[in-house]
Structures are given as C-alpha cells and as structure tokens.
Amino acid sequence: MCGLAYVRRSKLPEEDAFEVPFRKIALELKAEVLEKPEPGLDKALTVILVLSILLSVTTLVYVIITPKEGEHFTEFYILGPDGMADNYPTNYTIGEGKEVIIGVGNHEYRTVNYTMDIRLDNKSLSLPENAHRISLAHNETWEKTLTLTPTEEGKDMKLEFLLFNETDKSTPYRDLHLWIDVNSTER
C-alpha cells in the first residue's frame, strides 16, 4: 500500500504534491521572534513562552518514557489443602497433622529475606528450614504446603502465622491467624 502511494506521488508534478513546509515555517518563526524589532518586554515574554512550551514537552516525554514504580507490598496468605481460600483445617487431634498452604509474594521492588514463624497460643511450632527462612526477588512468589501437628489440647486456640522481614525481626511485618480446636482423641 505504501509502495503504491509512493509511486503515485512520484508521478505528480512537484508543485501539485502535498508537502509540509517545515523549513519555511522554521525560518518564518525565527524571523518573527528574533529578527523583527519588538519592544523588550514582548521579546522577553515570547522567549519565556517558547521555553515554557519546550519544558512542558520535555516533561511530558519524560513522564511517558519513565516507568512508574507501583506500590511496595508483600502478599502473605493461607490456603486450604485444596489450594483455595476456604476449607481451612480447624479441628485437630493431638499428634495428627493437617495441611495448609502458605504463600508469600514479594512486590517490594527489591530482594527481601523473610523469616516465618508459626505459633499456637504463643508457642512456636517447628518448621522445616526451607519454610522458616525465605528469600524472594521482586515479583517472585513462594508457596509451600505445610503439615501442622499441634501437641497440646485446647478450644479456640489461636494459630498464628507471622512473617518478619529483614529490617525488623522483633515485630511481624505481616500476620495471619486461624482459630482451631485440638482434641486429645478424634471425635
């Protein structure tokens, strides 16, 4: 299509061909702004206007070209054994393990080293080392199926999932919890 247009245009006489006269426009602007005798204030205002337009265009190009950095956050979530955000195991028997899936997503725009702790009524449960310390690059997500085995009986016990980041190991960066019942024998 472009080739056909080029051939047709090349057959037109030069005076009939469409052309944007950039050189002529630039020379006329130059003559109007710089060579025409004007009062000092008009000339200064014209120069300021041209500089303002150039600055605006430059700023617009910068904003369009530079990628915007989004919000910095960490995802921390619990999924049930079927990979959905429901059917969490809430009734346990001492010594019997049940599975949950823990997920961490790093959207901090840098690599972050996380530490995870799971507590049942403020007592830490044992975790495998690859679930205790987690290092994630930006936009990386980690999911792991963990088998939780309570060792004490109780009703309405708070099962806490605590995530600490590398900057503050004393205060959880993110926390989640489930309320569970633990029986000595299966009912």
pLDDT at 118: 93
- Which of 76, 103, 93 is CA-nearest to residue 148? 93
Over residues 134-175, the pLDDT tens digits come to 999 999 999 999 999 998 899 999 999 999 998 888 899 999
Residue 15: Cβ within 10 Å count: 6
> 73-183 adopts what CATH topology?
Immunoglobulin-like (2.60.40)
Report the distance separating Cα 90 and Cα 155, nearest Å. Answer: 10
CA 182 to chain centre: 39
pTM: 0.63
pLDDT of 22-50, one tens digit each? Answer: 888 888 877 776 666 667 777 788 789 98
- The per-residue b/e assignment along 112-142, b for 16 or more CB within 10 angstroms, e otherwise, is bebbbebebeeeeeebeeeeeebebeeeeeb
For 69, the token pair is: 């950095």
Q: What is the pLDDT of residue 36?
A: 61
User: Looking at residues 95-112, what average pLDDT do you find?
Assistant: 93
Q: What are the distances in angstroms from CA 12 to CA 2, 3, 24, 28, 142?
A: 16, 15, 22, 27, 66
| Mean pLDDT computed over 121-136 | 85
Residue 187: per-residue pLDDT: 55
CA–CA separation, 31 and 138 (whole Å): 55
Specify the pLDDT at position 129. Answer: 75
Domain ranges of the chain: 2-65, 73-183
Of the CA atoms within 13 Å of residue 47, those in its CB half-sphere come to 9
Question: What pLDDT digit, counting tens, does each position of 59-98 carry?
Answer: 999 988 887 778 899 999 999 999 999 999 999 999 889 9
d(CA 117, CA 126): 8
pLDDT at residue 93, as a whole number: 92
How does the average pLDDT of the chain come out, rounded? 87
Q: Is 104 in contact with 136 (CB distance < 8 Å)?
A: yes
Q: Residue 52: its pLDDT value, please? A: 94
Q: What are phi and psi of 28, to 5 degrees?
A: -65, -40
**Dist CA 33 CA 31 (whole Å):** 6
Q: How many CB atoms lie within 10 A of CB 162?
A: 18
**What integer pLDDT is reported at residue 12 of this predicted model?**
80
pLDDT at 142: 96
24, 30, 35, 38: CA torsion to nearest 10:
120
